[in-house]
Structure 1
Amino acid sequence: MRLKIDVVLDYDLDGAADTLLLVEAAGMPDQIIVSQDLWVSSLEPLRATVGSEGVGQRCWAYAENRLKVNYTATVEIDRPDVPLASLAETPPRMLPAETVNYLLPSRYCESDQFEGFLAQEFPNLRGGPLAAALLDWVGGHLTYQSGSSTGVTTALMTFANRHGVCRDYAHLLVALARAGGIPARCVSAYAPGVDPPDFHAVAQFWLEGAWRLADATGMAKPGELAVVAVGHDATDIAFMTTFGAAILNEQTVTVTREIV
């Protein structure tokens, strides 16, 4: 799978502001950056820092009154779509050290609040079969509704309201997986077919020695996701964090399958 990515961001700023951008697709063994170009209306040279868990990179920019960003990339993805239900459980005591934090609650994923629900609804499932069941449950019990959540909506709120956008689906799926003893993290990504077109958020489970992507919205398969960043929740994977007021002028994300 080869994806063509085109991103345009245009924001008015209240004076000068530092901005942390997280828009570049990550170079990974199963995801090759064929070409990419990032242009930012920064008053100073961009300063890159490594993303969470060494996945991708963040860029610091410094702009005054207006911030404009153009990002284009071609990404080749070679990632098998492994059925989650076929993957065995790894007991918590046997997990690699770097995955243990992803068993714990975080700001938007209050996994400790779902332990009773998991015990009642999925009492005999563990590992991959549980991950597959949770993916189906979230996809079947939530309604995708643009504008139905805000930047402070948590997994518990989404569970109660039963609607949201991709970030809400990811938060709830991650929280449920952690409650069931599966390390899980949130992932920002680009994918074709996302409706409405935008930055996309999905989940990732640690199963049988690897991180496995899963999209509860059903809009993207693992083999057509260009990963940008990973983290505990939306706090770690936001595409733009501005240290000052910002007003949207334009934001477009276009992802298409490229004919090779």
Structure 2
Amino acid sequence: MKLKIDVQMSYDLDPSGTVLLTLELAEFPGQRILRSALDIDHARVSRVQGAEGIGQRTWARISYPQMWLGYTAQVEVTRPKVELAPLAHTPMHDLPGETLSFLRPSRFCQSDKFATFVDRRFGDMQGGAKVAAILEWIAEEMIYVPTASNSETTVMETFVDRQGVCRDYVHMVCALCRAAGIPARYASVYGRGVTPPDFHAVAEVWLDGAWRLVDATGMCAPDEMAVIAVGRDACDVAFMETEGPAMLISQSVTVTAA
């Protein structure tokens, strides 16, 4: 599937005018970037490598009190849909080094607090079957509520409230999978069919020797999303970070089939 992406953003910035952006598509397995262009008015731009060597982040130093930017891209997504249940579990001693940090607790995913729950609720399953059961439990227990959380909400609060947005769904997947001994990481993506249209977040789980994209909200299949960046949780892949306050003027994210 080919996807067209169009992002338009406008913010009032603090006097420093320095912004760190994570917007551009990554060179990533299962997707091929056909076109990608980031335009920022009145800005000096430099780029640094993204976390885990995936994608890139953009420093913009803006000599104007407002940031106006547009990002457009076209990407061909070639990754197939994969049934999770038959995928094998990898014993911890056979895991590659790149996965180990995604077994550990992080700022928003206190996975060590869920070991007992995971063992009691999913202890009779392994590998992909366990991940599928975790996703089913999340779908049954959680409600998508746009106003239910904020940038400081942790998975502990989400577990109690059982509601949130894509960010909270991913944190729940990561916490439960890590507690089960399955590496899981946070991925920011552009996804077709996201409602309301916005930057989207999904999880990646390590099964049968590879990372597998899963969307606990059920909005996007793996062949309908394009990866921007990955990290331990939302703090690693925020689409925009500033030194001081930033006030939203307007923002739109559109993802359509090309």
Could you tell me which residue of structure 2 aligns to residue 41 of structure 1? 41
Deviation by residue 1:8-53 (Cα, 9 ceiling, x = unmatched) = 1100012123211000111224100111110012432x11111111
Letter in structure 2 aligned against 1:6: D
CA distance in 2, matches of 1:234, 1:69: 22
Could you tell me which residue of structure 2 aligns to residue 112 of structure 1? 112
The 5 Å alignment of 1:1-260 reads 1-44=1-44, 46-63=45-62, 64-258=64-258
Q: Per-residue deviation at 1:243? A: 1.1
* Distance change in 2, residues 1:42/1:99 (3 Å): farther
RMSD: 0.9
Q: Per-residue deviation at 1:151? A: 0.5
* Distance change in 2, residues 1:157/1:100 (3 Å): same
Deviates more, 1:240-249 or 1:13-22: 13-22
Letter in structure 2 aligned against 1:47: S
Number of residue pairs the alignment of both structures matches: 257
Partner secondary structure for residue 23 of structure 2? coil
Deviation by residue 1:134-190 (Cα, 9 ceiling, x = unmatched) = 111112211001121010001111110010000000011111000000000000000
Partner secondary structure for residue 83 of structure 1? coil
What is the percent sequence identity of the aligned residues? Answer: 50
* TM-score (structure 1 length as normaliser): 0.97
* TM-score (structure 2 length as normaliser): 0.98
Q: Which runs of 5+ in 2 are unaligned?
A: none
Letter in structure 2 aligned against 1:51: G
Q: Which runs of 5+ in 1 are unaligned?
A: none
CA distance in 1, matches of 2:16, 2:68: 13
For the 8 Å contact 1:187–1:230, the answer to whether it is kept is: yes
For the 8 Å contact 1:84–1:128, the answer to whether it is kept is: yes
Q: Per-residue deviation at 1:229? A: 0.3
* Distance change in 2, residues 1:32/1:159 (3 Å): same
* Distance change in 2, residues 1:42/1:185 (3 Å): farther
